[in-house]
Amino acid sequence: MKEFWKVIKKYVRPYKGYLGGSVLLNILSAVFNIFSFTLIIPILQILFNINEMQYEFIPWSDAGVSFREKALNNLYWYVTDAMGTMGESKVLLLLCVFLIVMTAIKTACYFGASAVMVPIRTGIVKDMRMEIYNKILALPLGYFSQERKGDIIARMSGDVQEVETSITSTLDMLIKNPILIVFYMGTLLAISWQLTLFVLIFAPAMLWLMGLIGRKLKRQSTEAQNLWSDTMSQVEETLGGLRVIKAFRAEKKMGMRFESVTSAMRDKNTAVATRQVSAHPVSEFLGTAMIAIVLWFGGMIILSEHTVIDAPTFIFYMVILYSVIQPIKDFSRAAYGIPKGLASMERIDAILNSENNVAESQKARPIKEFNDRICFHDVTFSYSDGSKKILKGVNLEIPKGKTVAIVGASGAGKTTLVDLIPRFYDPQGGKVTIDGMDLKDLKISDLRALMGNVNQDPILFNDTVFNNIAFGVENATQEQVEAAARIANAHDFIMEREGGYQSNVGDRGVKLSGGQRQRISIARAILKNPPILILDEATASLDTESERTVQDALDKLMSTRTTIAIAHRLSTIKNADEIIVMDEGRIVERGRHEELIAMGGYYKKLNEMQSL
């Protein structure tokens, strides 16, 4: 339960005002419930006329009589006095009307107590999802190379929903039930401490049996949620690879894979659900057994000559006793729900507690402009598994205003080298500096504000053309967006679309061609107007005509900026100020295009291969 209280303390604190209202309304509900039940006694007295005793009013200030005895005696006196003046039928009608009124007030309080818990439940779910989402935004790219996207989506959707269902739904029970149990048990003690002592012998045994049944739920629920993650991962992979699946006629194979994981999830969920649904019948049986035993014991007391409780009062006692069993049953349901929710919370915490190894220093310095150069000082890098060094002792200077191109075979370390500049990753050895300052000593947001990225696979969002171009620029105007689009050679095709700049580009820009997506991406970088531009094979996936149009837009973008360009087609970087040739994580050649050709080395070989 320690983990449960940690969750409650963390997420419920902002809603403590609602909790206070729930506590107050639950107390009122319990008081009115007990008070309405007390009307059963005089109603029974009237219906069956089983009590012929004469009652005298006992002053409330009389200290010689207990409050319980005074309350019961005076209640009977009021009723019998009213019966004498008004008649039994009218008194019975008034008591029934009063019972209805008390019940209405009680149910109104009960509704209010439950209603004020709704903002807590919905608020916790919203806060939890926002915390996970913000953590996802803060985690470095390296984290996502080790995790499946489908698994992360499953934790943000299914696991959070399970926490809401299993944990936050028990909050109402954990507030309401203790209040009801305290008030009901107090009433039972006031009526007959002998019977109540007898009841207390059996209640712990019932709770222990319910806890015994639910011990395996947490483990089974964790396994079920892991299988749910596998399911979501397969769905995500299928949606992303439908073209390949259909091309290779692999529909049946993928269907069998999905059948396997969903069947396993069904079996595990069946086991969990079966254990859950056993809670109600088991608690119903144990509760009825306890009622029967108390009924026998109380009946023996009434039938004895030394009775301390009359029949109507005993019936009232049984009504209250039956009422206290329901909160106990709810506790048993919580014993099922909480472990299941904690299993999901563990999976959520796996994301929330993930270490960010590209964290910003508390003493990070601001940087607002780029004045001199970017330098790599003996930089080495390998990914988290440490299986292979991607960069090996790289030394490089990129002066302001220059265009530096990086070429090499796939896997040479080009993209990894460039990803160190905006601190998507940090080197394991050496350091990267800008204007002589280590990147680790700078504010990450300030550093990335100096840079604009254009990638080989342009990343667009399911939004309008306008919002995709203005992405990352606050309060961009229509004129600014159009100007950026014109420079990127994108304005004409945008205006040909129905809706123009307000037309939707679809998921990942699926409604646009490859060249159009790339020009939108270039317009986004132009609008940001960064002093440093990073191009990651920006024209590699385009046809010749699209490449020419996009390259023209890139030339306009690069003309006044420091540019680092990863190039696949060497023809696009012939005019670069310096070309860096990489092979297996090392810089093997550097120079201008003509100089590298004259060397007759690795670069010349790459150039000749592309000329064939």
Which residues, including other chains, have CB under 8 Å from residue 610's CB and lie 6 or more apart? 569, 570, 571
Contact 380, 427 (CB under 8 A): yes
* Domain annotation covers residue 366: no
Alpha helices for 39-168 (secondary structure H): 40-48, 67-86, 88-115, 118-138, 141-146, 149-154, 160-163
C-alpha 449/C-alpha 474 separation (Å) is: 12
358 within a domain of the structure (yes/no): no
What local confidence, expressed as pLDDT, does residue 457 receive? Answer: 78
Q: Which alpha helices (DSSP H) does 444-558 contain, by range? A: 444-449, 465-469, 478-487, 491-496, 514-528, 544-558
Q: Which two tokens stand for residue 354?
A: 């993930």
Total domains in the chain come to 2
> Are 388 and 302 part of one and the same domain?
no
Task: Determine, yes or no, domain membership for 365.
Answer: no
Structural domain for 83, as ranges: 2-352
Question: 454: which 2 tokens?
Answer: 């254009």
Count CB neighbours of 100 within 10 A: 11
Give tens-digit pLDDT for 52-104: 556 677 777 776 776 666 776 777 777 777 777 787 788 778 878 888 888 88
Model pLDDT, residue 239 = 72
CATH code for position 479: 3.40.50.300
Residue 405 lies in a domain: yes
Residue 455 within any structural domain of the chain: yes
Backbone φ and ψ of 140, nearest 5°? -70, 165
Whether 503 shows a pLDDT value over 80: the answer reads yes
Q: Within this chain, do residues 118 and 220 fall inside the same structural domain, yes or no? A: yes
The predicted model gives 258-278 an average pLDDT of 77
Instruction: Examine the domain organization and report whether 74 and 168 are in the same domain.
Output: yes
What one-character-per-residue DSSP string does 203-218 give? HHHHHHHHHHHTTTHH
Mean pLDDT is lowest, of 110-119, 206-215, 483-492, for 206-215
Same domain, 237 and 105: yes
484 with 526, same domain: the answer is yes
CA nearest to 396, candidates 404, 385, 386: 404
In a domain, 534, yes or no: yes
Q: Transcribe 243-286 into DSSP letters.
A: HHHHHTT-HHHHHHHHHHHHHHHHHHHHHHHHHHHTHHHHHHHH
pLDDT for 68:
62
Identify whether 368 is part of a domain: no
Helices then strands, counting H and E runs in the chain, come out as: 25, 10
* Digit-coded pLDDT (tens) for 433-467: 999 999 999 998 899 889 888 887 788 888 899 99
CATH number, residue 199:
1.20.1560.10
Shared domain for 174 and 60, answered yes or no, is: yes
Directed axis angle between helix 169-191 and helix 16-38, to 10°?
A: 30
Contacts 24+ apart (CB under 8 A), 482-485: 484/523, 484/524, 484/526, 484/527, 485/519, 485/520, 485/523
Task: Please state, in angstroms and rounded to a whole number, the distance separating the CA atoms of residues 61 and 507.
Answer: 78
Distance between CA atoms of residues 507 and 607, nearest Å: 37
Q: Is the pLDDT of residue 606 over 70?
A: yes
**185: in domain:** yes
Q: What share of the chain is helix, strand, coil (3-state, %, to 5)?
A: 65, 10, 25
pLDDT, tens digit (0-9, with 9 covering 90-100), for 397-424: 999 989 899 998 888 888 889 999 999 8
Question: 597 and 603 in contact (C-beta within 8 Å)?
Answer: yes
